[in-house]
A and B are shown apart, each in its own frame.
Chain A
Amino acid sequence: QKEVEQNSGPLSVPEGAIASLNCTYSDRGSQSFFWYRQYSGKSPELIMSIYSNGDKEDGRFTAQLNKASQYVSLLIRDSQPSDSATYLCAGGGNTPLVFGKGTRLSVIA
């Protein structure tokens, strides 16, 4: 059974702080990993994708992948109230994406 595990939260951070979201996965065959942001009642939107070990930065977001530890993380710098949402971690490759249950992030102004 392929699984992606996330802490459901809620994770509360003050505005301007760094939010750190973590995810582990069970399928060593997974080649690509994604972080999606989902607002209540809306469809997920892609924030970051990462395929290689190490860090990938895009604006305020940094994704980190460690395939040896089967660990993926997302850092959000200078968190804003508009970042408050549920963040879904997903992994896959040639197979359909497997999603974690999501971490609810609350950025407090």
Chain B
Amino acid sequence: GAVVSQHPSWVICKSGTSVKIECRSLDFQATTMFWYRQFPKQSLMLMATSNEGSKATYEQGVEKDKFLINHASLTLSTLTVTSAHPEDSSFYICSARDLRDYYGYTFGSGTRLTVV
């Protein structure tokens, strides 16, 4: 089945620094990838939709200048959390749509970000 690789699996950073999270589709091309954030005991909240070769579409309330998304190839999307603050600490998960599986969505393993 489709595999999405996400790195790093966890990261601790100092407040004010930036963190980059990578999401790769390993055995399929993903024209669209999605970035979610999940706070403890809450559901997945869509942050943005990443389209290869174009600007990402951000959900209402998500700061596009803070959460930079780049989808430069059909197999790689990155999320950069800029000037991270403790309230950005969360579980970030990417997802890609494998069009070989009708509307199928595959998730990466997630990145636990802790900002201290």
A residues apposed to B, CB below 8 Å: 31-32, 34, 36, 41-46, 49, 51, 88, 90, 92-93, 96-102
Known: A41-B112, A43-B93, A96-B34. A102 touches B43 (CB 8 A): yes
Find the B residue at minimum CB distance from A8: B41
Residues of chain A lying within 8 A (CB to CB) of residue B105 = 34, 46, 90, 92, 97
Give 1 or 0 for each of B86-106: 1 = CB within 8 Å of chain A CB.
000001010100000011111
Q: Do the beta carbons of B112 and A43 come within 8 Å of each other?
A: no
- B77 within 8 Å of A by Cβ? no
Residues of chain A lying within 8 A (CB to CB) of residue B110 = 42-43
Find the B residue at minimum CB distance from A100: B43
Find the A residue at minimum CB distance from B6: A43
How many chain-B residues does the 8 Å CB contact rule pick out?
Answer: 20
Question: Nearest-CB distance from A93 to chain B (Å)?
Answer: 7
Which of B6, B44, B91, B104 contacts A99 (CB under 8 A)? B44
Question: Nearest-CB distance from B31 to chain A (Å)?
Answer: 13
Q: Do the beta carbons of A46 and B106 come within 8 Å of each other?
A: yes
> What 6 A-B pairs are tightest by C-beta distance, nearest first?
A101-B43, A43-B110, A32-B103, A99-B44, A43-B107, A43-B109
Question: Nearest-CB distance from B45 to chain A (Å)?
Answer: 8
- B42 within 8 Å of A by Cβ? yes
Which of A32, A41, A96, A99 contacts B102 (CB under 8 A)? A32
Rounded to whole angstroms, the CA-CA distance of A44 and B107 in the bound complex is 7
- B49 within 8 Å of A by Cβ? yes
Residues of chain B lying within 8 A (CB to CB) of residue A34 = 105
Known: A32-B102, A43-B107. A99 touches B43 (CB 8 A): yes
Rounded to whole angstroms, the CA-CA distance of A31 and B110 in the bound complex is 26
Rounded to whole angstroms, the CA-CA distance of A66 and B34 in the bound complex is 27
Q: Do the beta carbons of A96 and B103 come within 8 Å of each other?
A: no
Rounded to whole angstroms, the CA-CA distance of A74 and B112 in the bound complex is 29
